[in-house]
Amino acid sequence: MLFNSALFIGCFLPITLLIFFQIGGRGYFRLATAWLLAASLVFYSWWNPANLLLLLASIGFNYGVGVGLVRVAQPYLRKALLVLGITVNLTWLAYFKYANFLLATVANLTDTTLNPVEVVLPLGISFFTFQQIAYLVDSYRSPQPFAYRFLDYSLFVSFFPHLIAGPLIHHKQIIHQFANHAIYRFNSASFAMGVTLFGMGLFKKVILADGVAPYSTQIFAAATDGVALTVVEAWIGALAFTLQLYFDFSGYSDMAVGLAKMIGIDLPINFNSPYKAVNIIDFWRRWHMTLSNFLRDYLYIPLGGNRKGELRRNLNLMTTMLLGGLWHGAAWTFVVWGGLHGVYLLINHQWRSLWQRLGEQNSQQNLVWAKRASWLLTFVAVVVGWVFFRAKSLEVAVSMLRGMVGLNGISLPASLEDSLGFMQAWGVQFNDLMPSVQLQVEQLDDVNEIDPIVPILKISALLLLVWLAPNTQEWLTRGAVAAVPDQGIQPSDADQLRRDDLRIGPVNWQTLGRLNLRSFKLNSLNPNQLSARLSWRPNRVWAVISAILTAAALLNLAQVSEFLYFEF
């Protein structure tokens, strides 16, 4: 069952909400919680009922280990319980997600043949495994035990808005909300904001992400088939996937936050205009923010952060990013993607240190141009990384990059020949279509050739949208999209001061509803000054806007596509 399916929107969601508010509104709060848990389990089991057994076993096991960590007093026994819990969780994850990858790697290294394991990757296993590992680590470290009821803990893990693809929720962010009796009674303002968020996310997914997906699919498929792509083709494919992934995943996150908001539960925001980042450190402050928090708090800082010198910091950064890449998928392309971002971060840190040591006084104009150049370089670096993220193999990624730098020639649409014909003297060719790839409209039964200028115009429009337009939370600042503080593991003061090594420090989402766009001037490339006046309010104008966006998305649900992050 997908968020963007008629079954979910027209049946599951209204039935779930109606019964939840009917039960909760009569004061049966625990029964309403149980209903929400039951609905979440039905939602999860819809794809494959067998996977529900794994989810339930994972919940029961981790809750039991957590209770043991609270009740056992001996330090060595508590540590043994923690090691047991983490080991079992990682073993489950390794078997279902990485078994065939490990077998293939061993077979290649030893020049032997190993039969793959017949296993289906359970949806959301990476997310609910990491969430529960965080719970176990916190239970071990916390001087005050977490007295969670099993019902609340089970709903924390399986809550359907975030279960499949995040945001990656921390137990402190959500479990205490289940004790708030206000969420069990219908709140029109909260529901209106939730519907708006859900509609925006649905529009991002169905209209924007799926709108450019065919270009990415066709061009990467051509590269997989060994086609030597020209510059325009390769860049269209790379940029199309760059936009598809952002609108797909941020759309899912908006829908998840919106669904929870309909019930009155606040989930953390996962994106903050990542393609406006002015350096790669800034990018990781904005992209998949809940995963960045987890990697920082439960991997980077425990490894030592930068407390043990620059060399150790660099090693910790690379280790964190390599494992972060592997978390996304069982393939060397994901490992290379993570390693590439690790290298980006190291270069960023070295450049920042050099800049600080030079201590040069620059004019405001020079700083503006430096910031713009830094933004462009960051964006190109991110696009290069996405090529590895999307490619089926390292060979395909290299083939795409060869095309992007022009090693396979340059070809432009024939429609541009009249205005740019002089470029033929430089070896540029003009064709009726891009010579290597025939883009197709997947919605039609027959193959339809598309003038290459169409994807170019679409991609250009979407790039302007992500670079210049306010993001979801900037539109919705007046309504406090999320009110969840980052209550992850609290490091030492020394680590607190060094959080920018990997990601920004805790974001106080409680102030988000009071922010205006001026708050984003230092972090956004081109803030839109009108957004403060145009920000969301629960009124008729925004009701019409939400209805239009949602209706446009609903009218395009004929072909339902999965979210990209379901694969991870």
Q: How many CB atoms lie within 10 A of CB 86?
A: 17
Whether 332 and 394 have beta carbons less than 8 Å apart is answered as yes
C-alpha span between 255 and 196 (Å, rounded): 9
Query: Among 181, 352, 172, which Cα is nearest to 280's?
Result: 352
Query: Among 356, 303, 354, 334, which Cα is nearest to 502's?
Result: 303
Q: End-to-end CA distance of the chain, in Å?
A: 17
C-alpha span between 293 and 284 (Å, rounded): 10
Whether 169 and 268 have beta carbons less than 8 Å apart is answered as yes
C-alpha span between 55 and 93 (Å, rounded): 12
C-alpha span between 284 and 296 (Å, rounded): 11
Coil, strand or helix at 404: helix
Joined tokens for residue 83: 């090691």
Joined tokens for residue 341: 């971002």
C-alpha span between 251 and 230 (Å, rounded): 31
Q: How many CB atoms lie within 10 A of CB 421?
A: 12
The set of residues, in sequence order, having a beta carbon less than 8 Å from that of 501 and lying 6+ positions away, is 300, 305, 306, 313, 317, 349
Whether 179 and 141 have beta carbons less than 8 Å apart is answered as no
C-alpha span between 391 and 522 (Å, rounded): 34
C-alpha span between 152 and 176 (Å, rounded): 9
Joined tokens for residue 294: 């987890």
CA distances from 223 to 319, 322, 336, 387, 422 (A): 30, 25, 18, 11, 29
Task: State the burial class of residue 128 (Cβ atoms within 10 Å of its Cβ: 0-12, 13-18, 19+).
Answer: buried
Which residues are catalytic, by number? 328
Joined tokens for residue 180: 């708030």
C-alpha span between 267 and 174 (Å, rounded): 7
